[in-house]
């Protein structure tokens, strides 16, 4: 890492990195071929006892601090994956650690048979922040203290997948209610109800449970587990002409990521989201935004859709990844107009909304929403975007010309689909973690408190790797 740190200092002192500096740093610094007995024992144990559903590199992580992690051989890595956009405050954050320790000594779990104070506090914070900063029908930068303003409700789960499952269940029930209300003599539980179809989009990723998988339109995820849920219709993001045929009178729900994460860092156009919202209103379909990866300040605003006109906003937002900085939690945030369909017993969870998960979530969200913190995200993300934007001009034969995404969810798009995986491996061998996204992109989703020093290091290494790929 010494060479990389020297490079970052040179980049900062010059004010702008010129092509050719990073290309001097070609050597592999993190060779994992040689392993200690401790490392080899862990790898052997994992091979024998853990279901082999992950293709993992051949080393073992032991601890982390801030934007860095170390393996059991003592090698230091810059983590620009942040646990797949989870560790918003980085590793071993002292504030998170303190809340975990304190709450673990008071109340870990009670189930939802009983109330706990932290679930109510976190739910209130999610709703009031949305009302203040925009989203779910509330305009940005407008305080909503009027008691007549429509409210919102929260349901806590354990993961993003479960949040999406809950959102789909709620939308299905709303669809049945609306079908029954559309004609005299109908009942929501009638076997004749047809308003049950769900629309989703290509390159989406909503989870791996059977319901969430059914709306994750990717053959590599779906085919081994077919047949999946019936009644699923698949469209294309930013396809205006296809909305009428995709979403019909029998559609109860539409689920979309405003910025697709796993699928390639693809952004939905504002005008298309407005057309999508309009079409959902025309047929009485519930619009769900999956902001599990792009929400909670990842784009620089509370929600990716917060700064957009209210004509683009959803009925339901799902979230998870950064909410408790790695402690498992997910959540569904929904307008009262759709929440009213859910009554006692219609949905539930044993672990969701536990005292410890919500205490950590309240702490994390309070810090993420602090104005100086949000300003720092804006400054750092602009710097990262500027550094990345130079790369396509230097490597036009390898990279597509446009940097994808917004804030601190950014993607480098490649012309050859074999190259993203190659760059991820090369960067890891030089001490930097990045991720693939979709078929043609490398994803950068660092901790939200990442600094410019780490940005310089990450981009320097990426540039060096691109030079090796030429």
The H or E element containing residue 259 is strand 259-260
Distances 1 to 310, 457, 461 between C-alpha atoms, Å: 47, 9, 11
Record the tokens describing residue 416, joined without a space. Answer: 């050859």
Per-residue pLDDT of the chain (470 residues; tens, 9 = 90+): 444 444 444 444 334 445 655 555 688 999 999 999 999 999 999 999 999 999 999 999 999 999 999 999 999 999 999 999 999 999 999 999 999 999 999 999 999 999 999 999 999 999 999 999 999 999 997 654 455 677 999 999 999 999 999 999 999 999 999 999 999 999 999 999 999 999 999 999 999 999 999 999 989 999 999 999 999 999 999 999 999 999 999 999 999 999 999 999 999 999 999 999 999 999 999 999 999 999 999 999 999 999 999 999 999 999 999 999 999 999 999 999 999 999 999 999 999 999 999 999 999 999 999 999 999 999 999 999 999 999 999 999 999 999 999 999 999 999 999 999 999 999 999 999 999 999 999 999 999 999 999 999 999 999 999 999 98
The whole-angstrom separation of Cα 102 and Cα 107 is: 9
Across 17-105, where does the E strand assignment appear?
Answer: 61-65, 68-71, 76-79
**Quick one: pLDDT at residue 328?**
98
Taking residue 34's Cβ as centre, other Cβ atoms within 10 Å add up to 7
**Quick one: pLDDT at residue 138?**
96
**Quick one: pLDDT at residue 26?**
81
**Quick one: pLDDT at residue 15?**
41
**Quick one: pLDDT at residue 3?**
42
**Quick one: pLDDT at residue 71?**
98
Record the tokens describing residue 188, joined without a space. Answer: 């929501």
The size of the chain, in residues, is 470
What single DSSP character describes residue 196? T
The radius of gyration of the chain from alpha carbons, rounded to an integer in Å, stands at 23
Burial 289-328 (b: 16+ CB within 10 A, else e): bbbbbbbbbbbbbbbbbbbbeeebbbbbbbbbbbbbbbbb
**Quick one: pLDDT at residue 144?**
47
**Quick one: pLDDT at residue 21?**
52
Record the tokens describing residue 386, joined without a space. Answer: 């500027």
How many helical (H) and strand (E) elements, i.e. helices and strands, does the chain have?
Answer: 15, 17
Longest pairwise C-alpha distance within the chain: 76
The H or E element containing residue 289 is strand 286-290
The whole-angstrom separation of Cα 85 and Cα 121 is: 24
The whole-angstrom separation of Cα 1 and Cα 194 is: 60
Burial 386-404 (b: 16+ CB within 10 A, else e): ebbebbbebbeebbeeebb
What is the rounded (10 degree) CA torsion for 464, 21, 450, 58? 30
**Quick one: pLDDT at residue 4?**
42
**Quick one: pLDDT at residue 20?**
56
């Amino acid at each position: 890492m010494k060479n990389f740190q020297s490079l970052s200092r040179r980049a900062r002192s010059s004010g702008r990195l010129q092509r050719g500096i990073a290309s001097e740093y070609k050597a592999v610094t993190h060779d994992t071929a040689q392993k200690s007995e401790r490392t080899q024992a862990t790898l052997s144990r994992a091979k024998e006892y853990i279901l082999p559903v992950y293709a993992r590199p051949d080393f073992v992580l032991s601890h982390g601090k801030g934007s860095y992690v170390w393996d059991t051989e003592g090698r230091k890595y810059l983590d620009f994956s942040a646990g797949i956009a989870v560790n918003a405050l980085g590793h071993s954050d002292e504030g998170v650690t303190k809340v975990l320790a304190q709450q673990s000594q008071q109340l870990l779990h009670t189930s939802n048979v009983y109330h706990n104070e932290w679930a109510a506090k976190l739910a209130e914070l999610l709703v009031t922040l949305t009302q203040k900063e925009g989203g779910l029908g509330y305009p940005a930068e407008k305080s909503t203290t009027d008691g007549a303003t429509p409210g919102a409700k929260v349901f806590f789960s354990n993961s993003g997948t479960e949040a999406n499952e809950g959102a789909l269940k709620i939308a299905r029930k709303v669809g049945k209610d609306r079908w029954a209300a559309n004609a005299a003599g109908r009942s929501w539980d009638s076997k004749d109800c047809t308003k049950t179809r769900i629309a989703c989009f290509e390159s989406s990723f909503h989870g791996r449970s059977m319901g969430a998988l059914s709306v994750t339109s990717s053959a590599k995820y779906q085919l081994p587990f077919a047949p999946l849920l019936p009644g699923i219709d698949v469209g294309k993001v930013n396809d205006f002409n296809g909305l009428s045929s995709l979403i019909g009178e029998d559609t109860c729900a539409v689920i979309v990521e405003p910025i697709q994460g796993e699928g390639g860092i693809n952004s939905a156009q504002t005008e298309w989201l407005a057309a999508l919202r309009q079409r959902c209103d025309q047929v009485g379909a519930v619009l769900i935004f999956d902001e599990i990866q792009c929400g909670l300040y990842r784009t620089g605003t509370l929600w990716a859709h917060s700064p957009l006109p209210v004509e683009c906003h959803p009925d339901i937002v799902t979230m998870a990844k950064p909410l408790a900085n790695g402690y498992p939690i997910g959540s569904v945030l929904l307008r009262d107009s759709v929440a009213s369909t859910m009554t006692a017993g219609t949905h539930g969870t044993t672990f969701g909304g536990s005292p410890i998960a919500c205490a950590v979530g309240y702490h994390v969200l309070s810090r993420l929403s602090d104005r100086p913190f949000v300003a720092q995200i804006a400054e750092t993300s602009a710097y990262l975007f500027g550094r990345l934007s130079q790369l396509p001009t230097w490597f036009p034969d390898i990279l597509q010309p446009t940097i994808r995404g917004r804030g601190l969810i950014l993607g480098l798009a490649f012309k050859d689909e074999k190259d993203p995986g190659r760059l991820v491996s090369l960067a890891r061998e030089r001490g930097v973690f990045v991720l693939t996204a979709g078929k043609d992109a490398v994803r950068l989703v660092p901790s939200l408190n990442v600094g410019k020093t780490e940005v310089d290091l990450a981009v320097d290494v990426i540039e060096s790797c691109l030079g090796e790929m030429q």
